[in-house]
Amino acid sequence: MHTAQYLVSGDLTKDVGFKFFFKDPSLKSYVATIISDMLHLDFSYVRENMKYLDIELAKNIQSLIRSDCIIEIDNTILIFEMNKYMYKDLVELKLRYASHVFDKMFLKVKKKYRYNGKKIILVMINAFSDSKKEATSTYKPINEYERKLTEYLEVKEYNLANIRENWYNKFTISKCEKYLLYLLMSREHIEEVAEFVKGDDILSEAEKNRINLMNGKICLDYDVEIENEIVKQGLMEVGRAEGRKEEKNEIASNMKKNGIALDLISKITGLTKSQINLL
């Protein structure tokens, strides 16, 4: 379908590239370095003991916004989310997903929920520029009543554009920040990447994999993630429409003309299949 277009891009801030980098066994050392530095754990221990999980929402539109990567190490579950664009309700949507994963960690015993002692960390990697944000921040999410959502849920935000500014200004950045910054550098500053990864065997190996991905030497079947990208774009367009029926109809009509499945259009726009067929 659109697979070739995405595979040749080598853009690590898109679902295809990011998920490949965070899930492919050949890049386990890259991910383990990020986690070990983030959590202040031994690299070898993390690489040996990290586990990939697959927990997804169901029965509503959020099921289409799948987590980019979920990894468990000891009693900590990390949900990695690459956010290429800022769109309406971004943080709320991601927190809702993290809360769902948290709920999955409770065992229902005799109609009561028992907590299994694990902690959730939502890792938000933002590839868009936001001058109001710190380069790196850690906080507890709060709900509309200004109460902590849960003592077991934590958010770590990495704003790559701001980390890049710190790097250019010769400020000290952590190894985790540098490895995450690579994702943005390989998209926007390709001429500087060779120097950026120089002397680091793990980053150098990652760059070889990225080049192979970009040149089509690595063949992947990521139609699901491409569908994911379509949904995200649709959500942003619907958000801009601010609920106006005429604009939702226009969005649905354009998606229909482009051959998008009716089920998908319905989930994105909220219109029924009958309404879409009449457009």
Q: Residue 230's pLDDT is what?
A: 54
Stretches in the chain below the pLDDT threshold 70: 1-10, 15-16, 54-68, 87-89, 100, 103-116, 143-151, 216-247, 258-261
Neighbours of 184 (CB within 10 A): 20
Structure confidence by residue, pLDDT tens digits, 120-143: 899 999 988 777 788 999 988 775
Nearest to 238 by CA among 67, 61, 13: 61
Q: What is the dihedral of CA 56, 226, 25, 210, to 10 degrees?
A: -150
Q: Residue 244's pLDDT is what?
A: 58
Spatial separation of the C-alpha atoms in residues 227 and 3, rounded to whole Å: 10
* DSSP 8-class letter at 111: T
Q: Residue 85's pLDDT is what?
A: 72
Q: Residue 133's pLDDT is what?
A: 81
Angle of CA points 187, 189, 191, to nearest 5°? 120
Contact 141, 153 (CB under 8 A): yes
Alpha-carbon Rg for the chain in angstroms: 20
Contact 114, 106 (CB under 8 A): yes
Cross-strand partners of 135: none
Overall pTM surpassing 0.75 (yes/no): no
The tokens of 242 are what?
């601010």
Nearest to 192 by CA among 168, 217, 225, 227: 168
The tokens of 28 are what?
């386990």
Q: Is 230 helix (H, G, I), strand (E, B) or coil?
A: helix
Phi-psi region of 163 (alpha: psi -120 to 50; beta: other; left: phi over 0): alpha
Neighbours of 25 (CB within 10 A): 6
Cross-strand partners of 120: 77, 153
Contact 266, 276 (CB under 8 A): yes
Domain ranges, ordered by start, for the chain = 9-219, 224-277
Spatial separation of the C-alpha atoms in residues 269 and 158, rounded to whole Å: 30
Q: For the chain, how are helix, strand and coil distributed in percent, rounded to 5?
A: 50, 15, 30
Phi, psi (5° rounding) for residue 234?
-65, -40
**What burial class does residue 87 get, using C-beta atoms within 10 Å of its C-beta: 0-12 exposed, 13-18 middle, 19+ buried?**
middle
Contact 118, 268 (CB under 8 A): no
Spatial separation of the C-alpha atoms in residues 55 and 49, rounded to whole Å: 19
Q: Residue 113's pLDDT is what?
A: 54
